[in-house]
Each structure stands twice: as structure tokens, then as C-alpha cells.
Amino acid sequence: MLGNEQAAAVADSQQADYFRGFLSGLRADLESDLAKQVRRLTASQNAGDLGAVNVLRRAIRTAEGDLRAVVGMVDALDGRFPQAPDLRTG
């Protein structure tokens, strides 16, 4: 039975690593999109386009919430499945 538990633990760890990588990519995409929205907001503010400013502020708040959610998911994964040290380096 110990072999099955160990195999399950390895599979869980591999799955956590996969999702950690997926979420890392998603986080990078969200951060990039957020930076673009902030630049657009600044340009809209400078141009005095209040309609665009309101829309962009809402979009930025949504993007920030999405980013917080992704960071929370990564933190939860790290808490449940700490990353093993990379033995190939060093």
C-alpha cells in the first residue's frame, strides 16, 4: 500500500508543478495586459477622454482582481505542494 501512496504523492506533485507553470504563464499575461491598460488609462487621462477613463479604471480593477486570484492559487499550491529543490543546478 505504501507504494500506491508514494505514487499518488508523486503524481500530485507533478500535477501541482504543471498547474504552477500554467498559472505562472497566466500571471505573466495578466501583468502584461494590466500594464497596457494602465498606459491606455494614462493616455486617456492626458487626452481628457473621461468615457475611456471610466471604462479603463473598471477594466484595471477587474484585471487586478484576476491577478490576485491567480497569485492566491499559486500560493495555495505552494502551501500544499512545496516545490522540490531543482537538483540539476548548483
Please indicate whether residue 27 or residue 8 has the higher confidence score (pLDDT). 27
Place 6 in a pLDDT band, splitting at 50, 70 and 90: confident
Its pTM stands at 0.79
Within 13 Å, how many C-alpha atoms sit on residue 45's CB side? Answer: 8
Within 13 Å, how many C-alpha atoms sit on residue 11's CB side? Answer: 6
Cα–Cα dist 76/88, whole Å: 26
Residues 55-65 have pLDDT tens digits of 999 999 999 99
Total residue count of the chain as it appears in this document: 90
